[in-house]
Amino acid sequence: MSFYLPCPYCGPRPVDEYAYFGEVTHRPGPSPSMRELTDYVYFRDNVAGVQREWWQHRLGCGEWFLADRDTRTNEVLDVLLPSPERVREERLGSPPVGAEPMASEVT
């Protein structure tokens, strides 16, 4: 076992039950330049320290959530559900005018 990750619903479970979806990235605005797009798609901060990242409890309840994990120790400091405000803030920057709510929003 490497470490336990607390699912917001199921509590601490072995990390092997989860699917990892990488650090939280910032989507570029509408009609981005090639540079903005490739930065978003390929380039990563890959921090040695606390990183906010996406996980899914794939072999459990299936929930998607965010975790703050220290990549130097694998200590999980916090987990949170992607609330609509949080999702926009983390993934989209400032909310675009008249944007449709995201399908993954938890209300």
Residues that bind other proteins (CB under 8 A): 1-2, 14-16, 19-20, 22-23, 34-35, 38-39, 41-48, 51, 53, 71-74
77: tokens are 């400091």
Shortest separation between residue 48's beta carbon and other proteins, angstroms: 5
CA angle (39 as vertex; 34, 43 as ends), nearest 5: 150
Nearer to other proteins, 14 or 95 (CB): 14
- Name the region of 16 (left: φ>0; alpha: ψ -120 to 50; beta: rest): alpha
Shortest separation between residue 105's beta carbon and other proteins, angstroms: 24
Q: Which residues pair with 50 in a beta bridge?
A: 70
Nearer to other proteins, 59 or 102 (CB): 59
